[in-house]
Amino acid sequence: MNQAGTPSAATAAVRAAGGVVWRRTPLGLEVVLVHRPAYDDWGLPKGKLAEGESDEQAALREVREETSLVCRLGPELPSTTYHDGEGRLKTVRYWAMTVSGGELAGAHEVDVARWAPLEEARRLLTYPRDVVVLDGLVRAVP
C-alpha cells in the first residue's frame, strides 16, 4: 500500500484472460500453443485486460493478437493465479475457443503459434499451471 492507502504498482493485482483454441483431428485433440521469444517460453495465448474491457473481450482480443485467429468462446476453463515477474499477483481466466476465421500465425509478442496434439502440448508447455488448464479443456469439450 502507498501512503494514500491504495495498492502500489508493485502490489496491485493483475487481471488477464486467454484461451485454449482447440480442434479435433482424426488423430485426436489439438490445441494452439504460442512461443514468446522475450521469455523463451511456450504457453497459451493470454494477456492483461485493457481499461473497461471484460474478461471475455480480453480473452478473444488476446488470442486474436497473438495467433491471428478469430475465435468463438466456449466453456470457461480453470483459472491460474501466480506472481508475475514484478511480484504482483496475476489471475488469468481462460475459455475453450474454436476458430471462426483467420490463419494461424504468431503475432504481437509471439514469434511462433502452432497446433500441437494434446500430449505434445503437455510436454511443450513451460509452466505446469498451463497443463491444469489443458486438463480442464479435456473435461469441458465434448
| pLDDT tens for each residue of 97-138 | 999 999 999 888 999 999 999 999 999 999 999 999 999 999
- pLDDT score at 11: 61
- pLDDT score at 93: 98
Q: Specify the DSSP class assigned to residue 57.
A: H
For residue 51, what are the contacts with CB-CB under 8 A and spacing of at least 6?
A: none
Q: Which residues of the chain have pLDDT under 70?
A: 1-11
Q: What is the rounded average pLDDT for all residues in the chain?
A: 92
- pLDDT score at 12: 79
- pLDDT score at 50: 95
Query: Widest CA span of the chain, in angstroms?
Result: 60
- pLDDT score at 2: 44
Report the DSSP beta bridge partners of residue 81.
Answer: 91
Q: 14-140 belongs to which homologous superfamily? A: Nucleoside Triphosphate Pyrophosphohydrolase (3.90.79.10)
CA dihedral 3, 86, 67, 17 (to 10 degrees): -50
- pLDDT score at 7: 47
pTM assigned to the model: 0.89
